[in-house]
Structure 1
Amino acid sequence: MGQTHGQTHGQTHGQGSRGPRTRAPRPRSSRTIESAGRAARALPAGCHGDARWRPGVLLFLNGWYSATYFVAEAFIFAYKALLLPYPVSNLLLDAALLLLYLGTEATRIFFGSKGNLCQRKVPLAVSLALTVPAAVMAVYYLLLQTYTLRLEAILSAILLLFYAAELLLGLLALLSFSSVDAY
């Protein structure tokens, strides 16, 4: 009652409970600029063109591929044991190496993901170091088995490509981490 067109409940046009709608820009002090710089550095990996997310994506994809590789190799071993004259000792050795591969690969992917997400050098370095024995086992399944099927050769070659890309991007991510970790 008695309110004009621009006024509602004691507020005039252009003024709210927080003051005028348009404010003059506040001059930036050096402290404000420094805090903005700290906030930009504290952003998670992948922001502002940061390339540290790429090893994480490869590790995620390789985790799924490694599980598929393990299951496929287990079925291929069953196939070879049933249809080919596969010596039992060689079959047991190949199966034991496959289980060893599974443990190495799970540990490698865990440490790689942890090191990449937390931006820690030590877990990422452990992951990169475990890439070598995992790649050696992939080369064994590619070249040195008693019987190597064409499917195994293709699967192992793809796995080696994953390892090469992860090793390259992991080294680049390791070099980009600025702080030295105590643990």
Structure 2
Amino acid sequence: MADVCLRLQYACPWQSNMAAHGRQPVLSSTPLQILFHLNGWYFAAFFVAEILMFIYKGVILPYPQDNLILDVVLLLLFSGLETLRLFYGWKGNLCQRSLALFVSVAILVPCAVLSVYYLLLQTFVLRLEFVLNAVLLCFYGFELVLGVMTISIFSRANIY
């Protein structure tokens, strides 16, 4: 009976001893992964809210047509960059790859610049946009700190 339990222990990787198998410890950051997940959902809501606010601005406010087109194109660029950033961050954290996580942190810079643009530099900035972008910048700040910490942890580990 003890022999069967011993074999079952090695058959279930989540119950086995990592040192006995020669596996490396899990270094992925759970708080960073939670932030990536929450930021993905938040950005989806942010994107929909921005589109609706652009429709509102285009109909109600005397928004110049060229500026409106520029803001929508920048929002689409922002969406693409944010998707790439979250993808590389997600995969870099889960696969414990410093380079992918570094790419995510590097893409964070243009995303933050675009968020500041929507926060301060648009033709018309609504209060809702101000709040949404301020929250997004808080996400970015936390992800920057946790991302840099996780990159340093991955870099110091002896993973082959």
Normalising by the smaller structure, the TM-score range is: 0.7 to 0.9
1:43 shift after superposition? 4.1
1:36 shift after superposition? 3.8
Structural RMSD (CA): 2.2
Work out the CA distance in 1 between the residues paired with 2:70 and 2:103: 26
Larger RCO (CA under 8 A, 6+ residues apart): 2
Match of 1:63 among 21, 34, 40: 40
Report the equivalent of 1:5: none
Q: Is the 8 A contact 1:142 1:157 kept in 2?
A: yes
SS of the equivalent of 1:146 reads coil
Structure 1 residues 64-118: Cα deviation after superposition (integer angstroms, max 9, x where no partner): 0011100000000000000000000000000000000000000000000000000
Match of 2:112 among 135, 160, 163: 135
Report the equivalent of 1:44: 26
Q: Gaps (5+ residues) in structure 2?
A: 4-16
Q: Is the 8 A contact 1:105 1:134 kept in 2?
A: yes
Name the amino acid aligned to 2:122.
Q
Find out whether 1:111 has 2:93 as its counterpart.
no
How many residues end up aligned between the 2 structures?
145
SS of the equivalent of 2:123 reads coil
Find out whether 1:84 has 2:61 as its counterpart.
yes
1:44 shift after superposition? 3.4
Find out whether 1:125 has 2:102 as its counterpart.
yes
Work out the CA distance in 1 between the residues paired with 2:90 and 2:51: 26
TM-score by length of 1: 0.74
Report the equivalent of 1:98: 75
Q: Is the 8 A contact 1:121 1:180 kept in 2?
A: no
* 1:34–1:133 Cα change, 3 Å: closer
1:54 shift after superposition? 1.3
Structure 1 residues 116-174: Cα deviation after superposition (integer angstroms, max 9, x where no partner): 00000110000000000000000000000000000000000000000000000000000
Q: Gaps (5+ residues) in structure 1?
A: 1-16, 20-32, 47-51
Q: Is the 8 A contact 1:45 1:53 kept in 2?
A: no
TM-score by length of 2: 0.84
Which structure's CA Rg is the greater one?
Answer: 1
